[in-house]
Amino acid sequence: MEVRNQKKTKKSQLHRIMKTKNSIVCCLIALLALPVLGAFAETPAGFGVQLITTFDYPGSGNSTLPQRISDSGDIVGSYIDSSLVERGFIRFRNGNFSAPIVDPNDTGGRTEGFGINNSRLVCGDYLNETGLLHGYFLMGGRFHNFDVPGSILTFITGVNNAGDFCGSDLLPSDRQLAFFSLGGIITEFTVPHAANSIAEQINSSNQVCGFFVDGSSVLHGYYRDSDGAIYAPIDPAGSTGTIIFGNNDSNWMVGRYSDSGGLTHGLLFIPPNTSLNGINVQGQISGRYVDTSGIAHGIIARVVRSAADQSTPGVTPQRQSSQAGPLPSMSEGGRADVLIAY
């Protein structure tokens, strides 16, 4: 699974986490071998995913990593150049690109774009000289840096149209928690039985989706309803690790999973080595695929109705307690890996 692990190095690789809901039939809709998660009453009886276009951030050899897509069709993400420097970007709905997004406090060669709303408020994270990630917001050319109070590391992964946001933070005790902020009030939480939890996106109903890692280091998807109930795990049949990246205002979710053969499939659209990272209210999806030379390229797709139901069964997620309970103990011997996914 394409997950990168950060300790205190400038450009290491990091990892991530996930799970979902009861009394809901969880379907995986297959299109060209791509499962799509359709666990909602509003889901059409038959639908698939249609590729609209592919794209790359301008420049030779750039690996393009799109993340979320706004209801207006703007896409935020990051690209990695041939020197392994990472910069954020916006691909505007007309197909033009912003200049590279670089936080003024980025001294580690890494500024990532993760979330965008209809007002073009962008959120993400940057790396400083200590090798730790810190969150930022960007709007109208002005940056505002943000850390969850009491944390030593913060990354902000999603923002909704009200300006509420979510992400993950690391405590001095080396616990990695998911969090969301509603009206400036921050709530931290963990998925039950999770070693680490991450919130990826929050919609206008304040439903949060993301992923977690269990005690066996396996990734699973989840979502947290607006009443605080957590539904988990979200796992397609045959998955060896699942990440949920985005939800829209209908709480349709997109993400990816890996199989036993080492291939990665998008949830909602699936050639091998595909990741779907954002979905808007129109059903437009942003994501990426990796070519045979290892270079990532952006894709834009959309949900379309089809004549026949193409769904296949998956794991029905179960309702969990809204309280995570005591956190699992960690073995001695240094800081745990910080988990983050792309």
State yes or no: pLDDT of 277 exceeds 90. no
State pLDDT tens for residues 157-210: 999 999 999 999 999 998 899 999 999 999 999 999 999 999 999 999 999 999
State yes or no: pLDDT of 11 exceeds 70. no
State yes or no: pLDDT of 5 exceeds 60. no
The first and second tokens of residue 95, run together, are 């197909």
Start-to-end C-alpha separation, the chain: 10
91 vs 240: CA distance, rounded Å: 32
Least confident of 69-83, 267-281, 292-306: 267-281
Q: Within 13 A of 334's CA, how many CA atoms are on the CB side?
A: 4
Listed in sequence order, the residues at least 6 apart from 322 whose beta carbon sits closer than 8 Å to its beta carbon are 189, 224, 227, 228, 229, 230
Strand 219-224: give its sheet, edge to edge: 196-202, 208-213, 219-224, 230-234, 318-320
DSSP-derived letter for residue 100 is P
The pTM of the full predicted model, rounded to 2 decimals, is: 0.77
State pLDDT tens for residues 296-319: 999 998 888 765 555 544 555 677
Q: With respect to CATH, is domain 3-325+335-341 assigned 2.120.10.30?
A: yes
Q: What is the pLDDT of residue 290?
A: 83
Distances (CA, A) of 81 to 40, 61, 195: 39, 6, 33
Q: Output 190 or 16, whichever has higher pLDDT.
A: 190
Strand 63-69: give its sheet, edge to edge: 63-69, 75-80, 86-91
Q: What is the pLDDT of residue 218?
A: 96
State yes or no: pLDDT of 23 exceeds 70. no
Q: How many CB atoms lie within 10 A of CB 337?
A: 21
State yes or no: pLDDT of 96 exceeds 80. yes
